[in-house]
Amino acid sequence: MSSFALKIIAIISMFCDHFGDAYIGHYSVLNLIGRIAFPIFAFQISEGFIHTKNLKKYFLRLGLFGVIAQVPFSLFIHKYLGGSIFSLNVFFTLFLGLLSIYLFDYIVSLFKNQNINLSFPIDKIIGVFVVLLLAISAELLDTDYGFWGVIVVFIFYLFKNDKLAMIISFVTLCIIRYGYNIIVGSFNIPTVLLGLFTALSIIFIALYNGKQGKKVKFLLYWFYPVHLLLLYFLF
C-alpha cells in the first residue's frame, strides 16, 4: 500500500468522522471509522521527516496550515462538539510531533558526531525527555489529540525499522489511552469500540510498501480546513 493510498484512506476516514459529528451526532458508526485517520496522519509525519528534501519547508507548511485551519476548526468543534474555540487543530499536534522527531534525532546525532562513547544510552534518554516535554506542551495547549498524538508520531519514527515493535507499541498506546478513559469514567461499549477502531488503523500502516504513489502534497492540507467549513455551513 503506497503513501498515496494511505492518505486517501485517512481523508475518507476523517470526513466520515466529521460528517458524523455534524449530521448524526457524536459516537456514531461514522465516528468509529474516523478513528482510523489520525494514526495514519501521524505515520505520514514520521515518513515525511525521513524522506523530505527540505525540513524547514515541511515545518512551515504544517505551521501555516495550522493557522489557516484554526478558524474552521474552532467553528466546527464549538458548534458540533461543544469544544473550546481556543483548542488547537491537528496541524499543531503534527507540528509538535515532527519537532519531537527532529529534536530526538538531533540529540542522538550530536552525541554520535562528537564521538562520545556511551555505556549508558544517555543521548536517547535526553531525547525521550525532550519528546515528553513537547507532548506535555501539546496537552497544555489543548491541541487535537494532545499528549497522546505527539507520542504516536514519535513511536512511529522510533520503530520505523521494526514493524512488530511499531505494532505492539501503538496498540499499547491505544490500550493506555482508552483504558485511562474507562478508569476515570466508567466502562462503556462506545469507548471500547473507539479504542478498537483506533488500534485497527495499524493494519493499514503495516501494509505500507514504502512507495509514494501519486503526488498529492497539498490535497490533505487544503482538504482539512475546507471540509470543516463546508460541514459548518451545510449543517
pLDDT digits (tens, 9 = 90+) for 181-213: 888 877 888 899 999 999 999 999 999 998 888
Degrees to nearest 5, angle at CA 220 with 190 and 26: 20
Is residue 100 within 8 Å of 135, Cβ to Cβ? yes
121 backbone dihedrals φ, ψ, rounded to 5°:
-75, 60
Range list of H helices, 20-121: 29-34, 37-51, 55-76, 90-113
> Model confidence at 227, in pLDDT bands (50, 70, 90)?
very high
Rounded Cα gap, residues 99 and 157, in angstroms:
12
Q: What is the pLDDT of residues 6-58, one digit of tens each?
A: 999 999 999 999 999 998 877 889 999 999 999 999 999 999 999 998 999 99
> Model confidence at 116, in pLDDT bands (50, 70, 90)?
low
Q: Is 118 a residue whose pLDDT tops 70?
A: no
pLDDT value, residue 122: 86
pTM of the complete model beyond 0.85: yes
Q: What is the pLDDT of residues 126-142, one digit of tens each?
A: 999 999 999 999 999 99
